[in-house]
């Protein structure tokens, strides 16, 4: 397979497009805004959601869990249909549109419209998470095997850079709202959510234009639903005879449970446990983004020299240390140290997780979306269980610190399965001389 630089850069641009949702909505500005509009002097951090009273952070955790659960339920069949018809790009476009419109809908979320805000959170998260399976499935189709780690890392680097840029723009908009003509900070913040949706769907037009539409020239002949199911069943039966992929998927399920939960709920941890304000949290988030760019590239290089399993195992070890350290922190400076460590391994572990699975797919496979549906369904289920268990432990014990400590066990289990995975041999020599 020859590397097409234009196609690869266009694929990376989707990360540039959709990562702004993950940073601005999932990680930084929206959680701070959500905490502010759902807290009150009379009820504290308790909210009423369709008549049910619960802690605001618990409701947010459950909303994320529901969105990823819905995605996990739909994606297997949709991926089978996408493989049968060759229309991965079509489904990528559908979920991108859903997610970006839901982000724009957050503009109308205020303290008087909690239910609307949560619905938008669920739909935006559904669009973001569901689109990933079709985006990821392009990787083995556009990247030569010896360049998979590097191209996957490059995609994440594009995402971190683009989202950091929009976050800086958003901070300027919120910090100087009066000079920019906004009557209050709340309206300026909600305008940021509108901009995120426009950025997401706007830059996504680049990959929509340049990514191939039907790589294997599939020609569907009706009964799309039935044949989509058959594609999925075919891959499921193939997986039964691929022990390395099975072991890797189990390992990925557990360590990703810890990774995604920390990424999604770290800002709420800083807000509630350390009482950090936005002026202290936002610099931390920017530090994470910029360190993550280097981390994704750095661990891709380590993987090329020492192997995927070594690189992933090293990062999981660091994540375990982060969990124990986070349990004890009490100061802003300690939180900054955790942020640097998270940034270092966040980009690397996400990029290499995707690249490692891509390498484990049989070389003669043509149904990549179906293969990646199993990868992404486990991704979604790990987020469901991770965020749900995090919220449940907080509700039972009254402390998010206990939830953070529990995450270490997920990483340990993932590492135990990972060490038994054997990677297929690839020619890394070509990667050393590539200019990609």
Q: What is the pLDDT of residues 396-407, one digit of tens each?
A: 887 778 888 888
Q: What is the pLDDT of residues 119-175, one digit of tens each?
A: 998 999 889 988 887 888 888 778 777 778 888 888 888 988 999 899 999 989 998
Mean of pLDDT values over 54-70: 81
Cα atoms found within 13 Å of the Cα of residue 106, Cβ hemisphere only: 34
The yes-or-no verdict on residue 370 having pLDDT over 80 is: no
pLDDT at 108 over 90: yes
Angle at CA 348, nearest 5°, toward 344 and 350? 125
How far apart are the C-alpha atoms of 103 and 125, rounded to whole Å? 9
The phi and psi torsions of 424 (rounded to 5 degrees) equal -65, 150
Q: What sign has the CA pseudo-torsion 148, 150, 154, 160?
A: positive
- The whole-angstrom separation of Cα 250 and Cα 230 is 24
Backbone angles phi, psi at 367, to 5 degrees: -100, 65
Mean pLDDT of the 301-310 span: 88
| Model confidence, pTM | 0.74
Helix (H, G, I), strand (E, B) or coil at 52: strand
- Residue 103: pLDDT band (50, 70, 90) is very high
Residues 6+ apart with CB under 8 A from 252: 353, 357, 375, 378, 379, 382, 414
Summary count for the chain: helices (H), strands (E)? 17, 2
- Residue 183: CB atoms within 10 Å: 9
Cα–Cα separations (whole angstroms), residue 391 to 71, 395, 399, 408, 427? 20, 6, 10, 16, 44
- Residue linked to tokens 């020859």: 2
**Terminal alpha carbon distance of the chain:** 14
The ranges assigned to domains in the chain are 5-428
* The CATH homologous superfamily of the domain defined by 5-428: MFS general substrate transporter like domains (1.20.1250.20)
Q: How confident is the model at residue 199 (pLDDT cuts 50, 70, 90)?
A: very high
Distance CA 403, CA 318 (A): 18
CA-CA distances (angstroms) from residue 34 to 40, 116, 190, 262? Answer: 12, 12, 11, 18
Nearest Cα residue to 167 out of 193, 186, 185: 193
Q: How confident is the model at residue 232 (pLDDT cuts 50, 70, 90)?
A: low
> Nearest 5 degrees, angle CA 100-CA 30-CA 297?
75
């Amino acid at each position: 397979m020859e590397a097409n630089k234009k196609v690869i850069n266009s694929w990376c641009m989707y990360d540039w497009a959709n990562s702004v949702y993950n940073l601005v909505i999932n990680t930084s500005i929206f959680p701070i805004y959500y905490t502010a509009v759902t807290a009150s002097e009379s009820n504290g951090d308790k909210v009423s959601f369709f008549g049910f009273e619960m802690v605001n952070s618990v409701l947010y955790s459950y909303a994320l869990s529901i969105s990823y659960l819905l995605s996990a339920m739909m994606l297997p069949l949709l991926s089978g249909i996408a493989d049968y018809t060759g229309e991965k790009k079509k489904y990528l476009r559908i979920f991108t549109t859903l997610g970006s419109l839901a982000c724009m809908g957050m503009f109308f979320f205020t303290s008087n419209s909690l239910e609307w805000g949560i619905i938008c959170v669920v739909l935006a998260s559904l669009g973001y998470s569901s689109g990933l399976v079709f985006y990821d499935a392009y990787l083995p189709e556009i990247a030569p095997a010896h360049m998979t780690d590097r191209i996957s890392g490059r995609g994440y680097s594009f995402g971190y850079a683009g989202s950091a840029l929009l976050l800086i723009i958003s901070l300027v908009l919120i910090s100087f709202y009066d000079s920019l003509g906004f009557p209050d900070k709340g309206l300026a913040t909600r305008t940021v959510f509108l901009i995120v949706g426009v950025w997401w769907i706007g830059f996504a037009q680049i990959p929509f234009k340049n990514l191939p539409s039907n790589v294997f020239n599939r020609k569907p002949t009706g009964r799309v639903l039935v044949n989509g199911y058959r594609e999925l069943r075919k891959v499921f039966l193939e997986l039964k005879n691929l022990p390395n992929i099975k072991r890797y998927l189990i390992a990925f399920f557990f360590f990703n449970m810890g990774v995604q939960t920390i990424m999604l709920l770290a800002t709420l941890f800083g807000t509630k446990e350390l009482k950090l304000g936005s002026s202290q949290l936002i610099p931390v988030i920017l530090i994470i983004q910029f360190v993550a760019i280097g981390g994704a590239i750095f661990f891709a290089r380590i993987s090329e020299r020492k192997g995927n399993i070594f690189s992933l195992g090293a990062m999981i070890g660091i994540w375990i240390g982060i969990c124990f350290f986070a349990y004890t922190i009490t100061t802003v400076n300690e939180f900054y140290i955790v942020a640097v460590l998270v940034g270092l391994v966040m980009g690397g572990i996400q990029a290499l997780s995707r690249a490692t699975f891509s390498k484990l797919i049989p070389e003669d496979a043509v149904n990549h979306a179906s293969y990646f549906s199993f990868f992404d369904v486990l991704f979604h289920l790990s987020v469901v269980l991770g965020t749900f268990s995090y919220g449940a432990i907080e509700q039972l014990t009254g402390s998010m610190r206990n939830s953070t400590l529990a995450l270490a066990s997920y990483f340990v289990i993932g590492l135990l399965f990972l060490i038994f995975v054997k990677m297929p041999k690839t020619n890394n020599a070509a990667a050393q001389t590539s200019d990609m």
